[in-house]
Structure 1
């Protein structure tokens, strides 16, 4: 009997669609299709054609933007205004990928610098790395697909895409759009499968590159199982620490932190989570942040006024509730929120001074919870901010240039935002975690470069 997966609207748990899943016996055909395409250099998609396909895809996506917004909301539960922003970002991402194709190039390597290297000219060129296997996460179903699939196509690689089982519809819609835009058959295969089948796929020696977005536990496990020579990029999560100094501008900072903490109900890998606030302004900070947080509208993500929608599943609501209750039992004070609204939604919550040993302090919450910790010594606060093994994006709010630069230097992060929240991202910047938070850098152009490999050609001639 064929296995299926049900796509559920997270807000009311209604079934959106039921789709067939492949099993282990289907993986060989998928891999062989991609392998045959890559082995046949005569049929590689030339650069001009890849540009044409992606430009047309961006045009079609723009045309179907409302439909894509509807799909993303129905499977992921992200509110309308944020889903709309995601779809616009995804379209821009496709355009960025098309533009970057012209920058896939090598360089001349000087020869004749020694007697042994006379009569030679040498240059490098970039080639597609090979088959890309991409495993994705649920929280940005279309934009992540663009970052993993469209980049592979731009680099000239056949790609096998496994979307998150909860949110495959956006990836399937993107595949249809790319096909309509002229992508030849087999260059993108979308597979829905269980974890065991997924592992079989990514660890096959025919796979040249794994792009993984998801939990650190799964990412590092899969990396340990990869075939020799398979390169990978892993993007996990973090705890996004923020340092707030006493001279911070409240009018700029409060809306920024509310957005960064509660956007998509905190289900973002760089969502504001741990805020270390100078004791001198802590009371005022709590009052203002709480005031702004209480104004957030929690509700149906299809409603255009909704600020915070549902979590991806009731199981996640249960987990967030457990973690908040544990933090309170261990000494944290609830400033606002702290309770479930329904089986699928949780109040935007601010906790004051939870124990550094509570789960909300030591793990990525991935829910609508922000923790505030007062400090008197900034270096101590930075030390606590750096204490976990996850390091992704961080932030500091201050108008003092020296403090801003010193804090940015000392925070262990791949990116530090000054007077902006930790969740800031544009798709042409490098983006990724360090240490346990990941490997390699995302961002459209950075990913395309990682999906290519360099070849050196040395030409020997008496005429040179």
Structure 2
């Protein structure tokens, strides 16, 4: 292990559990080891589930709203004093450039503050009983309870903020939660669990672990004691886990997409290009709603693509810990090889390569712009998850919309135009859960709805929506003679 490596990291299970093995965490830029984290097997999973289940079953031990709110507020205050420390950790384990890692850490603080306020605005409602003779003499109202133990399985690309999105709403709702972070980026998660405990959360209410195999992770997610599964990751794994959930378990799945952008004729390229470059190349394109497919009117499609290429070529690819770095590494060398294969396939089938198109190292890929790749190429039909933007010319906007909607994914889309009629037409016809007007597809605030449609996911993310998913509305009907 290198000199700058963190100390050995144990699991965060609130019980005595013997580790099954260990996992070496690598810096994705230079592949140097930065920490060793222990893993757990089925025995460890059983212990974590038993703790969470006992918390939920012992109703007298449920934490009241005001206490959970206070814990989340204290956690936010603690996190706000450690932005730089957390940003460095995000950059080290996930490869996100430091300037963007700071933004992620600040968003995580804001997310905690948002969740701390959710119970304050979550009252029940009266159900009218006097509307029918059968209901006469009765009074009915609803209240809320936590749904039960939550299991959250997370992804690598936002190793702190995604964890906050899954864990903080569970705490706000009063659910015991077990989080399994991505194997590539477990350190931010473990640090966050420690921070929650420092803020006063009893250890049994939020546990974290890394499993020794996919089979063990599946056993965790599909155990009958799990009331809710929050999954962020690949569609293949997410849909499989959904099919294996215990009867009655609910879930939310967040997968990826191939985000489309429509660009009207006559837009100011100087305003559009920086937004598209950031939206497509941010975090080396490893974002589920990264700009991937740009449909531009043929009058300026090539000019737009060339301007994008110029912008991309000027973005520095380097160590994410350097202040001037705009684009860092892909999470694993295998991803560099995959992206390169897809780009070479597209060029071989007729796409014009305007910039990039080659690995810069085992871990970094040059930001790439392709003009008019075939609609059948992988870059046109599958989620790229790499620093590549494709530009396609169109003559009629409805043909571009048809192409944008042709894939089995639907997440966020965007439209650039100066015409209200064009914006309304496109927004009403794009297959997407959210359409940004004159902004890139990766825009998000953490309290807005965030939902993958079709193969892109199930349910609605965003702090208030996840909070509601993790609660049960219970009706009380009072007969008053």
TM range (shorter): over 0.9
Q: Distance in 1 between matches of 2:186 and 2:305?
A: 39
Counterpart in the other structure of 2:16? none
Counterpart in the other structure of 2:362? 343
Q: Distance in 2 between matches of 1:385 and 1:217?
A: 22
Output aligned runs, 1:308-323, within 5 Å. 308-323=327-342
Counterpart in the other structure of 2:12? none
- SS of structure 2 residue aligned to 1:127: strand
Deviations 1:206-237 (A, max 9, x none): 10000000000000000000001000000000
Q: Distance in 2 between matches of 1:166 and 1:185?
A: 24
- SS of structure 2 residue aligned to 1:182: coil
Deviations 1:235-261 (A, max 9, x none): 000000001110222222111000000
1:47 aligns with 2:65: yes
- SS of structure 2 residue aligned to 1:287: helix
How far does residue 115 in structure 1 lie from its aligned partner after superposition? 1.7
State TM-score, norm by structure 2: 0.95
Q: Which runs of 5+ in 2 are unaligned?
A: 1-18
Question: Which among 385, 392, 410 is matched to residue 366 of structure 1?
Answer: 385
Deviations 1:154-197 (A, max 9, x none): 11000000000000101100000000000012101101012111
Q: Distance in 2 between matches of 1:90 and 1:343?
A: 31
How far does residue 132 in structure 1 lie from its aligned partner after superposition? 0.4
Deviations 1:317-338 (A, max 9, x none): 0100111111111111101110
Counterpart in the other structure of 1:411? 430
1:453 aligns with 2:447: no
Q: Distance in 1 between matches of 2:266 and 2:472?
A: 48
How far does residue 286 in structure 1 lie from its aligned partner after superposition? 2.0
How far does residue 294 in structure 1 lie from its aligned partner after superposition? 1.4
Q: Distance in 2 between matches of 1:433 and 1:278?
A: 27
- SS of structure 1 residue aligned to 2:299: helix
How far does residue 3 in structure 1 lie from its aligned partner after superposition? 1.5
Q: Distance in 1 between matches of 2:61 and 2:20?
A: 34
Q: Distance in 1 between matches of 2:69 and 2:76?
A: 11
More moved, 287-296 vs 115-124: 287-296
Counterpart in the other structure of 2:281? 262
Q: 2:302·2:371 contact (CA, 8 Å) conserved in 1?
A: no
Question: Which among 221, 233, 240 is matched to residue 202 of structure 1?
Answer: 221
1:282 aligns with 2:301: yes
Q: Distance in 1 between matches of 2:428 and 2:121?
A: 31
1:293 aligns with 2:341: no
How far does residue 2 in structure 1 lie from its aligned partner after superposition? 3.6
Q: Distance in 2 between matches of 1:439 and 1:287?
A: 37
Q: 1:249·1:399 contact (CA, 8 Å) conserved in 2?
A: no
Q: 1:249·1:398 contact (CA, 8 Å) conserved in 2?
A: no
Output aligned runs, 1:158-197, within 5 Å. 158-193=176-211, 194-197=213-216
Question: Which among 92, 100, 103 is matched to residue 74 of structure 1?
Answer: 92
Q: Distance in 2 between matches of 1:251 and 1:351?
A: 19
Output aligned runs, 1:319-330, within 5 Å. 319-330=338-349
Q: Distance in 1 between matches of 2:308 and 2:405?
A: 24
Deviations 1:111-170 (A, max 9, x none): 122221111100011110100000000000000000001110011000000000000101
Q: 2:302·2:393 contact (CA, 8 Å) conserved in 1?
A: no
Aligned length: 462
Deviations 1:68-108 (A, max 9, x none): 11111111000000000000000000000001121122100
Q: Which runs of 5+ in 1 are unaligned?
A: none
State TM-score, norm by structure 1: 0.99
Q: How large is the RMSD of aligned CA atoms in angstroms?
A: 0.8
Deviations 1:370-399 (A, max 9, x none): 001111111011000000000000011100
